[in-house]
Amino acid sequence: SVNPDLASERQTASFSVEKLTALLDGGTEQTRIRRAVVEAIESDPVFSRENQYFQTQNERYEAAVRKAVHLQKKVHDMGWTENGPEYKYIYRALSGDVAFLLHRVFMRSISVLGSDKQIAKWIPLATQHKLIGSYAQTELGHGTYLQGLETTAVFDTATQEFILNTPKISAMKWWPGDMGRSATHTVVFAQLYIHEKCYGIHPFIVQIRSLQDHSLCPGVTAGDIGPKMNFEHIDNGYLLLKNVRIPRENMLSKFCEVRPDGTYVRQGSQKINYFTMTTVRISLISDEVLTPLMKACTIAIRYSVVRRQSKLKPGEQEAKILDYQTQQEKLLPQLAAAYAFHFINDYLQELFNRGYREIQRKNFDRLPELHALSSGFKAVITQHSTAGVEICLRACGGHGYSLLSGLPSLYTKILASCIYEGENTILLLQTARFLIKCFMAVSAGQPVPPSVTYLAAMKPGKCPAKNKLDFLSPDIYTEAYQHVAVRLISSTAVKLQDLIQSGVKKHDAWNQCTVQLVQAAKAHCHYIAVKNFAETVEKLETKAGIQKIMKHLCDLFALHGIFSNTGAFLHDGYTSAAQMDMVTASYLDLLAVIRKDAVPLVDAFDFTDKSLNSALGSYDGQVYQRLYEWAQKSPTNQMSPAYERYLKPLLHNTLSKL
Amino acid sequence: SVNPDLASERQTASFSVEKLTALLDGGTEQTRIRRAVVEAIESDPVFSRENQYFQTQNERYEAAVRKAVHLQKKVHDMGWTENGPEYKYIYRALSGDVAFLLHRVFMRSISVLGSDKQIAKWIPLATQHKLIGSYAQTELGHGTYLQGLETTAVFDTATQEFILNTPKISAMKWWPGDMGRSATHTVVFAQLYIHEKCYGIHPFIVQIRSLQDHSLCPGVTAGDIGPKMNFEHIDNGYLLLKNVRIPRENMLSKFCEVRPDGTYVRQGSQKINYFTMTTVRISLISDEVLTPLMKACTIAIRYSVVRRQSKLKPGEQEAKILDYQTQQEKLLPQLAAAYAFHFINDYLQELFNRGYREIQRKNFDRLPELHALSSGFKAVITQHSTAGVEICLRACGGHGYSLLSGLPSLYTKILASCIYEGENTILLLQTARFLIKCFMAVSAGQPVPPSVTYLAAMKPGKCPAKNKLDFLSPDIYTEAYQHVAVRLISSTAVKLQDLIQSGVKKHDAWNQCTVQLVQAAKAHCHYIAVKNFAETVEKLETKAGIQKIMKHLCDLFALHGIFSNTGAFLHDGYTSAAQMDMVTASYLDLLAVIRKDAVPLVDAFDFTDKSLNSALGSYDGQVYQRLYEWAQKSPTNQMSPAYERYLKPLLHNTLSKL
3-state secondary structure B513-575: HHHHHHHHHHHHHHHHHHHHHHHHHHHCCCHHHHHHHHHHHHHHHHHHHHHCCHHHHHCCCCC
Q: Report the chain A residue with the minimal C-alpha distance to residue B568.
A: A567
Separation in Å, CA of A14 to nearest CA in chain B:
23
Instruction: Tell me if residue A43 falls in helix, strand or coil.
Output: coil
Query: Which residues sit opposite B187 in a β-bridge?
Result: B135, B205
CB contact under 8 A, A518 and B326: yes
For residue B314, the model assigns a pLDDT of 87
Residues of B in contact with A61 (CB under 8 A): 636, 640, 642
CB contact under 8 A, B182 and A642: yes
A32 residue type, one letter: R
Separation in Å, CA of B535 to nearest CA in chain A:
28
At residue A281's C-alpha, the angle toward residues A275 and A285, to 5°, is 140
CB contact under 8 A, A61 and B636: yes
Q: Report the chain A residue with the minimal C-alpha distance to residue B64.
A: A642
Which domains are present in chain B? 133-267 (2.40.110.10), 273-452+467-615 (1.20.140.10)
CB of B650 within 8 A of CB of A68? no
CB of A598 within 8 A of CB of A283? no
pLDDT at B261 over 60: yes
Q: Report the chain A residue with the minimal C-alpha distance to residue B657.
A: A211
CB contact under 8 A, B511 and A211: no
Residues of A in contact with B173 (CB under 8 A): none
Of A56, A400, A624, the CB nearest to B56: A56
CB of B310 within 8 A of CB of B319? yes
Share of chain B above pLDDT 90, in %: 89
With cut-offs at 50, 70 and 90, classify the pLDDT of residue B653: low
Work out the average pLDDT over B143-151.
Answer: 93
The pairing of strands B185-194 and B152-156 is: parallel
Instruction: Tell me if residue B614 falls in helix, strand or coil.
Output: coil
CB contact under 8 A, A170 and B640: no
Active-site residue identified among A288, A390, A421, A479: A421
Rounded distance between C-alpha atoms, residue A366 and residue A359, angstroms: 9
* Binding site members of A: 138, 177
* B177 annotated binding-site participant: yes
B359-391: pLDDT as tens digits: 888 888 999 999 999 999 999 999 999 999 999
Name the pTM for this structure.
0.97
Of A143, A401, A567, the CB nearest to B566: A567
Q: What is the mean pLDDT of chain B?
A: 95
Active-site residue identified among B9, B369, B390, B421: B421
In sequence order, what DSSP letters do the residues of B305-319 get, joined into one string? HH-B-S-SSTTSPPP
With cut-offs at 50, 70 and 90, classify the pLDDT of residue B92: very high
Of B132, B174, B309, the CB nearest to A145: B309
The CA–CA distances, whole Å, from B310 to A374, A495, A621, B307, B313 equal 21, 24, 50, 10, 9
B155-186: pLDDT as tens digits: 999 999 999 999 999 999 999 999 999 999 99
CB pairs under 8 A between A and B: 374
Residues of A in contact with B404 (CB under 8 A): 226-227
| Three-class SS of A540-558 | CCCHHHHHHHHHHHHHHHH
Share of chain B above pLDDT 70, in %: 99
Rounded distance between C-alpha atoms, residue A412 and residue A402, angstroms: 13
**A421 is an active site residue:** yes
Q: In B26-160, where does DSSP find H-type helix?
A: 28-42, 57-78, 87-93, 101-113, 116-127
CB contact under 8 A, B567 and A569: yes
Closest by alpha carbon to B412, among B230, B648, B613, B584? B230
Q: Which of B630, B646, B652, B653 is the mutation pick for testing A, counting most A CBs within 10 A?
A: B646
For residue A541, the model assigns a pLDDT of 81
Cβ neighbours of residue B435 under 8 Å, at least 6 residues apart? B372, B452, B455, B489, B520, B521, B524
CB of B31 within 8 A of CB of B85? no
For residue B655, the model assigns a pLDDT of 46
Instruction: Tell me if residue B187 falls in helix, strand or coil.
Output: strand
Q: Report the chain B residue with the minimal C-alpha distance to residue A425.
A: B326
Q: Report the chain B residue with the minimal C-alpha distance to residue A310.
A: B145
CB contact under 8 A, B402 and A512: no
pLDDT at B244 over 90: yes
Residues of A in contact with B646 (CB under 8 A): 62, 65-66, 68-69
Of A588, A636, A645, the CB nearest to B180: A636
CB of A605 within 8 A of CB of A298? yes
CB contact under 8 A, B229 and A401: yes
Of B148, B425, B636, the CB nearest to A318: B148
Rounded distance between C-alpha atoms, residue B237 and residue B244, angstroms: 18
CB contact under 8 A, B649 and A69: yes
Ranges of chain A whose pLDDT falls below 70: 652-658
